[in-house]
Chains A and B, each alone.
Chain A
């Protein structure tokens, strides 16, 4: 089936540094998402993105977070500066449409902030 790729699979950084998580969505998909899962906890929605704009973001999507997809390349999640509580697995997803469409998930990037 369609595949979403995420790079890197694991990232370790020091608190206060900037990190960029990369997502290569399914090629013809138009809607992109980030979800966050802290170890042992529930998966939670962060943000969705369409046509170059953030459509919706949750309370977890702090001011230090930003997303973009310049020129149809990677869909990225940038955190600047990082905090200890940002340690989690971040999953990217994409879908062809919004409501009622299946979302395809990547394998996740495990972010460890020291």
Chain B
């Protein structure tokens, strides 16, 4: 079935380092979203990016449909970036449901 694979599973950085999170999907997609999940569990939408590149502050998302991958780049990481990053996609030809990856747990220390 349709799958979403995220890597790495976890990432530990020192403050100021950059992070590159990857999301690979197994079939053509209609939509791709990145979320940040706080340690308490609430979700924050980071990007809606079904194709191309989007930037917001220190965050950049790039989705390459032909290669079936999406990435989230965090530059100059801060301690407050710590948490879990989830990618989710809705596949083409299917329903509108989002299929989530298992997440990348990011820990940024001083």
Residues of A within 8 A of B (CB): 1, 31, 33, 35, 37, 42-45, 48, 55-56, 58, 89, 91, 93, 95, 98-105, 107-108, 110
Q: Given A33-B97, A43-B88, verify A89-B41 contact (CB < 8 Å).
A: yes
Are A43 and B86 interface neighbours, CB within 8 A? yes
Are B45 and A44 interface neighbours, CB within 8 A? no
B96 within 8 A of A: yes
Q: Nearest 9 A-B pairs (CB), nearest first? A: A98-B96, A102-B48, A43-B100, A45-B97, A100-B30, A99-B30, A56-B95, A107-B42, A105-B43
A48 to B99, CA, bound (A): 13
B102 within 8 A of A: yes
Contacts of A31 in B (CB 8 A): 96
Q: Given A43-B86, A55-B95, A108-B43, verify A100-B100 contact (CB < 8 Å).
A: no
**Other-chain contact of B31, A43, A93, A99 (Cβ < 8 Å):** A99
Contacts of B92 in A (CB 8 A): 99
**Count the A-B residue pairs with Cβ separation under 8 angstroms: how many?**
62
Q: Which residue of A lies closest to B4 (CB)?
A: A42
Are B43 and A107 interface neighbours, CB within 8 A? yes
**Other-chain contact of B102, A42, A98, A108 (Cβ < 8 Å):** A42
B74 within 8 A of A: no
In angstroms, how far is the closest chain B Cβ from the Cβ of A9?
A: 9
Chain B 77-110, CB-CB to A under 8 Å as 1, else 0, gives 0000000001010101001111111110000000
